[in-house]
Chains A and B, each alone.
Chain A
Amino acid sequence: MNFIRKYYYGDIPEDKAGEMSEASKELTKTDWPLWEIFIRSKQGLDHKHAGSLHAADAQMAIENARDVYTRRMEGVSIWVVESRYIHASNPEEAGSLYEPANDKVYRHPTFYDLPDEVNHM
């Protein structure tokens, strides 16, 4: 697809960026593994996905997560999981995956009409 775009702050296009100062290096594939970070913000609440980061091992992932995601007391507990162990549903199958719930309105309390005299049920 061809189009012409505007140049935005934070988005300097390659053709206007001048010469490269040196050739790109060969990649050595030495990135530390990626970890997904889950933070419990307050005692009594669920851990919630906060983001991800790289670390050599679980201990380092927890320490890095503290520095990256809880600089302002956002957490009281941290879970870390290596990203490659996360299995995800396929967005392309979302239609059929969630289809069984579509026609079951009777699972919701609002499906039932009750007389006004029945308060708070």
Chain B
Amino acid sequence: MPSITTEDLFQQKIDSEIKIEPKDWMPEAYRKTNVRQISQHAHSEIVGMLPEGNWISRAPSLKRKAILLAKVQDEAGHGLYLYCAAETLGMSREEMINDLHSGKAKYSSIFNYPTLTWADMGAIGWLVDGAAILNQVMLCRTSYGPYARAMVRICKEESFHQRQGFESLLILSRGTPEQKAMCQDAINRWWWPSLMMFGPKDSESTNSDQSMKWKIKRKTNDELRQNFVDMCVEQIKILGMKLPDPSLKWNEKTGHYDFGEIDWNEFWNVVKGNGPCNKQRLDARKKAWNEGEWVRKAAAAYAEKKTGKQKAA
């Protein structure tokens, strides 16, 4: 009989739905995959503040401004929960920030698209946050404990993001002809990039899938994307708008909506840094980091001085 390895024991834990905690033994590849995924998820939250930050000072009313501010503040919080979860795996915050700034670590490509009109705030809430929520609800049951706990916290807060977006579009969809046109235009521009958020097609890889086996992920990209399409087709009826895909059609056999082919060239192009706003987003992050340096130093110096005084006393 072959002896049981630590790796087998680890898999047994995963199979019986026991969460993995920071100090537990884990395969190096499990650690690495989690560090990469969690840190990139954190970066997405942080960079995701930028396209919306653009509209805080341009919001059409005080109410909308307060809502947008609260949403952006949530995103900063979500980034922090996730950075901390990644840090439990042994990567320092500084390393993660460096990797983001150097281009080594990625963030969701959706944030490399520009926000051209106010309606984009609604479309982002409805579509982009809607797509993210599907992914995040699944991740609440991910096998790494700190990641799962961060996701539970995030999901509790995220639903307001999607609802405020849909409500905002609903108001535009019942407005003047110009407002209606603006609403449709935003949906047209955000629909396809939102579908790309779920990542490449499952058929890109025919081999066994380690992330599913380790229960880091529990649904495939295509499954989540299909859920999303089915959901949106129903919701857009309430808006009285159209999704920009002539191939959208109910499929009696599968019980799902068929949809058109995604432009994968565009997807990989944006991932590789050639999207409309990649440079602008990274530059904004680096600028914020560099201009905050004196604050970080001053706070550290102040803390040090205070400890010195306590010791002397």
Contact = CB atoms under 8 A, between A and B. Distances in A.
The answer to whether A and B belong to the same complex is yes
Interface of A: 1, 3-14, 16-25, 27-32, 34, 51-54, 56-57, 60, 67-68, 71-72, 88, 90-92
A9 B225 CA distance: 11
B102 A5 contact: no
Interface string B71-90: 00110010011001001000
A7 B199 CA distance: 6
B37 A11 contact: yes
Interface of A is mostly: loop
Given A8-B199, A31-B93, A51-B150, A18 B273 contact: yes
Given A9-B221, A34-B87, A29 B94 contact: yes
A67 B78 CA distance: 11
Contacts of A4: 205, 207-208
B271 A18 contact: yes
A25 B84 contact: no
Contact of B81 (A18, A29, A51, A72): A51
Interface stretch (B103-111, B115-123, B230-238): B103-111
A8 B136 CA distance: 12
Interface residues on B, range: 35 or more
A11 B40 contact: yes
B163 to A, nearest CB: 15
B211 A27 contact: no
Contact of A9 (B95, B101, B197, B300): B197
B205 A5 contact: yes
Contacts of B94: 27-31
A79 to B, nearest CB: 17
23 contacts: A1-B7, A1-B27, A3-B29, A3-B208, A5-B205, A6-B199, A6-B202, A6-B209, A7-B204, A10-B40, A11-B37, A11-B199, A21-B103, A21-B282, A30-B296, A34-B87, A51-B150, A53-B80, A53-B84, A57-B302, A60-B303, A71-B70, A71-B157
Given A23-B102, A34-B87, A60-B299, 15 more contacts: A7-B204, A7-B205, A10-B37, A10-B40, A10-B41, A19-B272, A19-B273, A20-B102, A24-B99, A25-B98, A27-B94, A31-B94, A52-B87, A54-B93, A68-B77
Interface string B49-87: 000000000000000000000100110010011001001
Contacts of A14: 36, 104
B143 interface: no
**Which 5 pairs of residues, A with B, have the shortest CB-CB distance?**
A18-B272, A56-B299, A21-B103, A57-B303, A12-B106
Nearest to A22: B102
A57 B302 CA distance: 9
Contacts of A72: 157
A54 B84 CA distance: 9
B299 A6 contact: no
Contacts of B33: 5, 11
Contacts of A10: 37, 40-41, 44, 108, 135
B250 interface: no
Nearest to A60: B299
Contact of B95 (A13, A27, A53): A27
A56 B7 CA distance: 39
A10 B299 CA distance: 32
> Which of B21, B40, B198: most chain A Cβ within 10 A?
B40
B93 A56 contact: no
B261 interface: no
B113 interface: no
A91 B81 contact: no
